[in-house]
Structure 1
Amino acid sequence: MSVTDSSAYPPIEAYALVGNLETCALVAPNGSVDWFPFPHLESPSILAAILDAERGGRFRVGPVDPFETERRYVDGTNVLETTFRTEGGAVTVTDFMPPAGRTDHPKKVLYRKLSCTDGAVDFEIELDPQFDYGRAETTIEATDRGALAEGRDERTLLESPIDLEVENGRISGDSSIEAGDTEWFLLRCTGAEDANTDPNAALEETLEYWTDWVHDCDPGDDCAFAGPWHDPVVRSQLVLKLLTHAESGAIAAAPTTSLPEDVGGVRNWDYRFNWLRDAGFTVQALMNLGTAEEATEYFDWFMDLCQADDPAAIQPLYGLHGDSDLEERELEGFDGYRGSRPVRIGNGAADQRQHDTYGELLLAVDEMHRHGRTLDDGEWARINDIVEYVREIWDEPDAGIWEVRGGNEHFVYSKVMCWVALDRGIAIATDGDHDAPLESWQETRERIRADVLENGYDEGVGAFVQSYGTDALDATGLLVPLVGFLPFEDDRVQGTIDAIEETLVDDEIFVSRYDGDDGLPGDEGAFVLCSCWLVDALALSGRVDEARSRFESLLQYLNPLGLVAEEIDPESGMHLGNYPQAFSHIGIVNSALYLGYARGRETDGPPPMGIRLGDPVGIDGG
């Protein structure tokens, strides 16, 4: 069988996610862990069969005989249960990692509990460790507890209750289990080989942590997220927490690298970093979900980054520990998911100029400020410097939010977000009585506004376009009213929504990022976040029933566990791109928030971004 044969690779959306707030693992429906970087998300992989079915490495626990599979997360947790039903019986594999610093059990252990609930089942175990993306020489030896594998810098101890064999660089074993019996398999990673732990207590404390942490409301509560989308919102919150690094508070865009936007093509990127552009929408989602601690930790993290770098040096993305050196490299030894090459580590977009980043940072600061977070003198000095820098460079071209690799342009969204940086800077300075050159800021804000209205809106198209001098459309036009640049009732806003619906929307719910050439070969799927932006724009334009219908249709494309990738193929429904994607799940949370607000639900804090007190956000039947 060829490694590019699709049968060797489950669909992207078939995977489940577990993690410990420092790293994550992807679990296939057959019980195979096919992706596991260690010790952190951005670290080299130990298991990466998802990127090369033959050479990547995997860790499987499952039946020998043919089976049917059912999977679920224990309610309100990130503990995964996979039930296999064979002709002879049924077994359940429970996968989890204790959250870092939240229990008394070592975080560097992947727990796999095998329980037989009916009959008897023959099962097998296979571990094929491939350290450092398969580049490190691996040695394996049997021990009295199982088998120890060592690479260049990392090692794993597979603790097993059954006898194991070591052959050809792989660890394997098989046995049978009967109803009522339970076996534990522990993958102890570097630093946890000899740590004392009680697996049952680790599971109990992990379940307790997640159920105590997660958003919860009673059916009678006036929850802003109430509705048929409540469960997807809760799952999105749990995904975002898994992508949040326990030490820094930074949130990864996704736990994976190089899952393709175009299967078999070159649109394969490493997303295991934090993009500052996510800040505003992320903070809004976290604050309204009641996870103020996470929002504050994330806020403090990126404010520290702003202190470390002068505004001109602020990067669009950073490592989860604040690393700035994210050199993009290609892994020559991996074939890629279904032959999608190159497989990349690092991300060259870190070196781009993306002016929208500054506006998104100010959106986040404003969101925290509106929720009662005061800025000290040092924090305000950093914000003042950013706004002053934007005042100087707003009229220069940049790479834009989509990080096109075809050269810098005058992107309309970048200009709008420069306007946002000035607008929110003025609002925060005024409300907080901070020293600021308000007159010059106000003058520049109006210059940007006039420039965008003159050059970014095309009368012939009847819409805001992607960049100056083109008639190409961009889904970011849906954000023009959301960030307050123009009101929703403005004809230019409604014209942009209509034009995007006509040009970028497939099957009423799938929204592409843009039309036109972006300097790369191949096509991509519809962007989930952009589909959420359309829902938001419709809801806040008073078209609430239409927004609700489209949102509910979009949610049908989440996988059965509630996870979603960066993109969806409108024709097949396949998930594309890195998975699960933080921005997609943030979009789901915020769309549910806007729909709830438009339907008369209230939030504990200020109105969501883009809604001014007294705005006639209509209810047309929802």
Structure 2
Amino acid sequence: MEYPPLREYGLIGNDDRCALVSRHGSIDWCCFPHLESPSVFARILDAQRGGHFAVSPTADYESNHRYLDRTNVLETTFETADGQATVTDFMPLCNGGEPDDDRFQQAIYRYLECDRGRVEFDVEFAPRFDYARTEPALERTDDGVLATGNGERLQLAADGPLARTLEITTSTTATGTVSLEAGEQCWCWVQYGGREPASSADQERVLDETKRYWREWVGSRDSAPDSMLERWHEMVIRSELVLKLLIHHETGSIPAAATTSIPETIGSDRTWDYRYNWIRDAKFTIQSLHDTGHTQEAREYFEWFSDIARTDPASITPVYGLHGESGDELEERSLEHLAGYRGTGPVRIGNAAGPQQQLDIYGTIVQAVYETMQFDSATTITGDEWGAVRDIVDHVCNHWDERDAGIWEFREERRHFLHSKLLCWVALDRGIALATENDLEAPLDAWLEERDAVREAIEERGFSEKANSFVQHFETDEALDATALLIPIYEFLPPADDRVQATIDAVLERLTTDDGLVVRFVDSDIRRDEQKGFFLCSFWLVDALVLSNRVARAREYFERLLEYATPLGLYSEKVDPETGQLLGNFPQAFSHLGLINSVTYLTRALECDGEVTPADFDPENVETLFRRGDSPGT
């Protein structure tokens, strides 16, 4: 089997479990019991050894897939010479019945229905526990096959004629066949852990409950502002649903992506595990969740990083496990037995970024606290919380002028990165605002002095007359970095400042393709130039252009960015501008956060007839894009 391109995959899931389903009906990535747990299916990382659960016609076919309206329920339609059939895939969510039983959700349901003619399906069940380090033992059960190994259990069950045909064809693989005539249906499903699979009579109810859950969570389809284009509306809804799939229901944390080790470039060793929560995502996550009206999720996420902020600032790490594990505990290891996506390794689990010093994390925490208090009037800052914020700002005062690994987590180099200094300024500026606006005790004279010092350093050492742009770090006159686009977004300088406009022009000239794809950096002395477009940076460019009142160009680039999404509306981390091939872990939360935020900027610009200022995006002046309706959507 060849490796399908990422754009041929759909994502299903619930709470903190996800699975990737190809357009060919194969589940090629799934981890149980949690998203960051070892995989049970990992064919996306090794076509031969990784493991899969496939349902597809025995005859040649054409296929396509779509999500049921406003849900994470995936339909794949297969058309053969003899007929047409649909496979519906989902992971259960239930509004009633067993909401408190986490084991109920550790399942994948597959519903086969023949729409016309006759279609025969092959089913292949090949689980591989612990990232395919454990080959399971299979045994036949009354209605399916039980796989055990390494203390784990995964049971395949089916109804009707499919259950009778299931057989163990090799020591680690079971197969079955079912032929369906028009109007006939069949269920099959897998259940992880010790729980027995549900009876077939319950499946239809569970499907209905799952669809209802997603539609109630998204809300009414008619709640978008009149100025928002319908296509933008649909893409934001899909991005909301992706983020909800990734949000951990127990802790409120959000991983960067659902996968590990999908390479940034085919043939490159830049393969990382993104199933963890990066602190730097906080500002954009809070903004996106509030903009789409999901105040509960925003509050839970706020509480998650507020707990982290209460520790010694020197102990705060850039990345955390989804259950709160410190980055120091996320040991990075390579799985040498797996070939990697399209033969590109190594396959990594864990992440070595945890122990790095990344000074930007402090600014994102303070900014997220500041924005949360502006967005959510019900949120107040307690004494303990303010003490934690004050400690962070004091820490920034003492350490802002140190070198660090930067936002792109360079593993061998330390520099005075402009983005890190910018976020140190944000920590000081928002800390001062929180103290003065809420009458909180703080050493304001010291903070004001250090804020001025950071500003002076950025303006004097971060802007290059030679490049006529803000640059990647203080030690260069040439290296350009897309993070400079954040200068007006964080309100360090007004968009109309000549240096900001010159920087945007430099980004357009040196980092941007004709289609509006932005690479992260060029002419850096740290790493060779990148050739792949980075979706988040591309959305930053849209935002900076809107703030600069270059709305027509921002809209043009945004529309082109929409064309790079998969047919299902999903984004990875990066894209090859020449081929359109998606690269990096998938789907990528940061890319979808960027899309939501860009729609916010563009919609607001249209409401203001294209003449905007940063004040137009102050939470006090902006209603959420999607307001929950009085009655749930259906």
Q: What TM-score results when the alignment is normalised by the length of structure 2?
A: 0.92
Residue matched to 1:270: 273
Q: Aligned-pair RMSD on alpha carbons?
A: 2.0
**Local SS of the residue matching 1:173:** strand
Which whole-Å CA distance do the structure 1 matches of 2:615 and 2:598 have between them? 11
Equivalent residues in 2 for 1:508-523, closer than 5 Å: 508-517=515-524, 523=530
> What does the per-residue CA deviation read over 1:168-217, in whole Å, with 9 as the maximum and x for residues that have no partner?
21010112011111111010111332556711110000000000011434
Which whole-Å CA distance do the structure 1 matches of 2:382 and 2:290 have between them? 20
Contact 1:18 1:78 (8 Å CA) reproduced: yes
Give the deviation of 1:555 after TM superposition: 0.4
Which whole-Å CA distance do the structure 2 matches of 1:585 and 1:215 have between them? 19
Residue matched to 2:207: 203
Contact 1:363 1:421 (8 Å CA) reproduced: yes
Q: Would the alpha carbon gap of residues 440 and 316 (structure 1) be closer, same or farther in structure 2, given more than 3 Å must change?
A: same
Give the deviation of 1:523 after TM superposition: 4.9
Q: Does 2:357 align with 1:353? A: yes
**Local SS of the residue matching 2:65:** strand
**Local SS of the residue matching 2:557:** helix
Which whole-Å CA distance do the structure 2 matches of 1:226 and 1:433 have between them? 42
Give the deviation of 1:394 after TM superposition: 0.2
Contact 1:284 1:609 (8 Å CA) reproduced: no
Residue matched to 2:129: 131
**Local SS of the residue matching 1:506:** coil
Give the deviation of 1:384 after TM superposition: 0.8
Which whole-Å CA distance do the structure 2 matches of 1:40 and 1:175 have between them? 31
Equivalent residues in 2 for 1:476-495, closer than 5 Å: 476-495=483-502
Q: Does 2:14 align with 1:11? A: no
Which whole-Å CA distance do the structure 2 matches of 1:144 and 1:524 have between them? 54
Contact 1:265 1:522 (8 Å CA) reproduced: no
Alignment partner of 2:73 out of 79, 84, 101: 79
Alignment partner of 1:578 out of 585, 596, 600: 585
Contact 2:403 2:414 (8 Å CA) reproduced: yes
Residue matched to 2:313: 311
Equivalent residues in 2 for 1:36-115, closer than 5 Å: 36-99=30-93, 104=98, 106-115=104-113
Give the deviation of 1:518 after TM superposition: 7.2
Residue matched to 2:216: 212
Alignment partner of 1:418 out of 418, 424, 428: 424
> What does the per-residue CA deviation read over 1:530-558, in whole Å, with 9 as the maximum and x for residues that have no partner?
00000001011001111011100110110
Residue matched to 1:29: 23
Residue matched to 1:596: 603
> What does the per-residue CA deviation read over 1:489-536, in whole Å, with 9 as the maximum and x for residues that have no partner?
000000000001111111241100011357668955110000000000
Which whole-Å CA distance do the structure 2 matches of 1:102 and 1:246 have between them? 17
Q: Would the alpha carbon gap of residues 614 and 582 (structure 1) be closer, same or farther in structure 2, given more than 3 Å must change?
A: closer
Which whole-Å CA distance do the structure 1 matches of 2:460 and 2:530 have between them? 31
> What does the per-residue CA deviation read over 1:254-287, in whole Å, with 9 as the maximum and x for residues that have no partner?
0000001111220110000000100001100000
What is the number of residues matched between the two proteins?
604
Residue matched to 1:563: 570
> What does the per-residue CA deviation read over 1:555-600, in whole Å, with 9 as the maximum and x for residues that have no partner?
0110110001000100000100000000000000000000111111
Which whole-Å CA distance do the structure 2 matches of 1:561 and 1:409 have between them? 40
Which whole-Å CA distance do the structure 1 matches of 2:616 and 2:244 have between them? 22
One-letter amino acid of the structure 1 residue matched with residue 282 of structure 2: A
**Local SS of the residue matching 1:505:** coil
Q: Would the alpha carbon gap of residues 212 and 382 (structure 1) be closer, same or farther in structure 2, given more than 3 Å must change?
A: same
Alignment partner of 2:401 out of 395, 398, 417: 395
Alignment partner of 1:260 out of 248, 251, 263: 263
Structure 1 runs not aligned, ≥5 long: 1-6, 616-622
Give the deviation of 1:78 after TM superposition: 0.3
Give the deviation of 1:104 after TM superposition: 3.0
One-letter amino acid of the structure 1 residue matched with residue 482 of structure 2: A
Contact 2:406 2:419 (8 Å CA) reproduced: yes
Give the deviation of 1:100 after TM superposition: 7.6
Residue matched to 2:594: 587
Which whole-Å CA distance do the structure 2 matches of 1:67 and 1:614 have between them? 53
Equivalent residues in 2 for 1:430-441, closer than 5 Å: 430-441=436-447
Q: Would the alpha carbon gap of residues 377 and 101 (structure 1) be closer, same or farther in structure 2, given more than 3 Å must change?
A: farther
Which whole-Å CA distance do the structure 1 matches of 2:522 and 2:343 have between them? 26
Contact 1:225 1:233 (8 Å CA) reproduced: no
Contact 1:252 1:582 (8 Å CA) reproduced: yes
Q: Would the alpha carbon gap of residues 377 and 613 (structure 1) be closer, same or farther in structure 2, given more than 3 Å must change?
A: closer
Residue matched to 2:239: 236
**Local SS of the residue matching 1:8:** coil
Which whole-Å CA distance do the structure 1 matches of 2:113 and 2:253 have between them? 36
Which whole-Å CA distance do the structure 1 matches of 2:418 and 2:616 have between them? 20
Which whole-Å CA distance do the structure 2 matches of 1:68 and 1:420 have between them? 52
Which whole-Å CA distance do the structure 2 matches of 1:22 and 1:263 have between them? 28
One-letter amino acid of the structure 2 residue matched with residue 113 of structure 1: Y
> What does the per-residue CA deviation read over 1:320-346, in whole Å, with 9 as the maximum and x for residues that have no partner?
001121111000110001111111000
Alignment partner of 1:377 out of 374, 383, 386: 383
One-letter amino acid of the structure 1 residue matched with residue 142 of structure 2: D
Contact 2:251 2:322 (8 Å CA) reproduced: yes
Which whole-Å CA distance do the structure 2 matches of 1:261 and 1:227 have between them? 32
One-letter amino acid of the structure 2 residue matched with residue 77 of structure 1: T
Q: Would the alpha carbon gap of residues 227 and 203 (structure 1) be closer, same or farther in structure 2, given more than 3 Å must change?
A: closer
Which whole-Å CA distance do the structure 1 matches of 2:227 and 2:151 have between them? 48
Residue matched to 1:165: 167
Give the deviation of 1:63 after TM superposition: 0.5
Residue matched to 2:344: 340
Which whole-Å CA distance do the structure 2 matches of 1:490 and 1:146 have between them? 67
Residue matched to 1:618: none
Residue matched to 2:325: 323
Which whole-Å CA distance do the structure 1 matches of 2:308 and 2:40 have between them? 30
Give the deviation of 1:145 after TM superposition: 1.6
Structure 2 runs not aligned, ≥5 long: 623-634
Contact 1:484 1:610 (8 Å CA) reproduced: no
Residue matched to 1:554: 561
Which whole-Å CA distance do the structure 2 matches of 1:518 and 1:229 have between them? 39
Q: What TM-score results when the alignment is normalised by the length of structure 1?
A: 0.94
Q: Percent identity?
A: 50
Contact 1:25 1:33 (8 Å CA) reproduced: yes
**Local SS of the residue matching 1:141:** strand
Residue matched to 2:148: 150
Q: Would the alpha carbon gap of residues 508 and 89 (structure 1) be closer, same or farther in structure 2, given more than 3 Å must change?
A: closer
Q: Would the alpha carbon gap of residues 171 and 523 (structure 1) be closer, same or farther in structure 2, given more than 3 Å must change?
A: farther
Give the deviation of 1:484 after TM superposition: 0.8
Which whole-Å CA distance do the structure 1 matches of 2:145 and 2:538 have between them? 47
